[in-house]
Amino acid sequence: MLDAAEGHVTADGRQIGPVVMEMRNITLRFGGVEAIKNISFDVREGEIRAIIGPNGAGKSSMLNVISGFYHPQEGEVLYRGAKRPSMKPFQVARQGIARTFQNIALFEGMSVLDNVMTGRLNHMKTGLFGQAFWWGRAEAEEVANRQKAEEIIDFLEIQAIRKTPVGRLPYGLKKRVELARALAAEPQILLLDEPMAGMNVEEKEDMSRFILDVNDEFGTTIVLIEHDMGVVMDLSDRVVVMDYGKKIGDGTPDEVRNNQEVIDAYLGVAHD
């Protein structure tokens, strides 16, 4: 059993830190529907943590609890050891938690660069008033934000399309631009809502590589929900398995693969 306050190095040499976020006995209801039933799990600094489960299992609901979009009726969220009060999504974002969406939420008429720049909004300190009175400071800030956006565009290898309106891009690249925008916020925790949904094999491979690179290069903690089991097992350090709102498994990919309840409920067949 790992100590929550301690870090460790995984078998493949990955550096995992202490617990950064804890979901404690979360229950979320929509009228009579219990989307999340008394679920607890934690997220460690620097890890890639997946939440998987069949349709309607409650994965999106859980991600929306983490991002502050839904407020559970029971349970609590602890962030860096402190109980998090009921927060609006923008307040959660200010704590360093960014997300992408299942149905891409970009500005289609705007260029890739401008979309990525919108991810910097939390870093813009000079408001309109400030811009009017301290033009120099606002200009310096704009230059720094633009530089950061360009760095991320380079990192995700989308320089060639930086001036292209997002609406003209194929699906896989839009997903990558969404990742770029979320990264522009320089998050400590990145929430990815089905990052591979609707992608072909090649696009999935690219996205997996970028997720690993982001985690490796920036040390970003990543929580993702995903349908594609193969992808999840390859990418993740630990996996939470949900089914009908309940947690039925939690552990390393190997532990989850060998968990009989998970095999019965989700995989359907035993893996040798």
Ligand X SMILES: Nc1ncnc2c1ncn2[C@@H]1O[C@H](COP(=O)(O)OP(=O)(O)OP(=O)(O)O)[C@@H](O)[C@H]1O
Per CB under 6 A, which of residues 51..80 are in contact with ligand X?
53, 55-61
By C-beta, is 30 or 129 nearer to ligand X?
A: 30
Give one DSSP letter per residue of 162-173, joined into a string: TTSBGGGS-HHH
3-class secondary-structure state, position 52: strand
3-class secondary-structure state, position 39: strand
Give the Cβ contact number of residue 157 at 10 Å.
13
CA distance readout (Å), 181 to 53, 71, 174:
27, 25, 10
Q: Where are the beta strands (DSSP E) in the chain?
A: 8-9, 15-16, 19-30, 33-44, 48-52, 74-79, 82-83, 97-99, 189-193, 221-225, 238-243, 246-251
Binding mask 1-40 for ligand X (x = CB under 6 A): -----------------------------x--x-x-----
By C-beta, is 155 or 244 nearer to ligand X?
A: 244
Number of residues that bind ligand X (CB under 6 A): 11
By C-beta, is 61 or 221 nearer to ligand X?
A: 61
Smallest separation, CB 71 to ligand X (Å): 12
Smallest separation, CB 130 to ligand X (Å): 38
By C-beta, is 61 or 236 nearer to ligand X?
A: 61
SS (H, E, C) 217-268: HHCCEEEEECCCHHHHHHHCCEEEEEECCEEEEEECHHHHHCCHHHHHHHHC
Smallest separation, CB 48 to ligand X (Å): 19
Sign (positive or negative) of CA dihedral 185, 89, 52, 259: positive
By C-beta, is 68 or 119 nearer to ligand X?
A: 68
Q: Do the beta carbons of residue 249 and residue 261 sit within 8 Å?
A: yes
By C-beta, is 39 or 184 nearer to ligand X?
A: 39
Per CB under 6 A, which of residues 174..213 are in contact with ligand X?
none
Q: Do the beta carbons of residue 53 and residue 243 sit within 8 Å?
A: yes
Structural tokens at position 155: 């990192």
By C-beta, is 210 or 266 nearer to ligand X?
A: 266
Smallest separation, CB 29 to ligand X (Å): 9
Which residue ranges make up the site for ligand X (CB under 6 A)?
A: 30, 33, 35, 53, 55-61
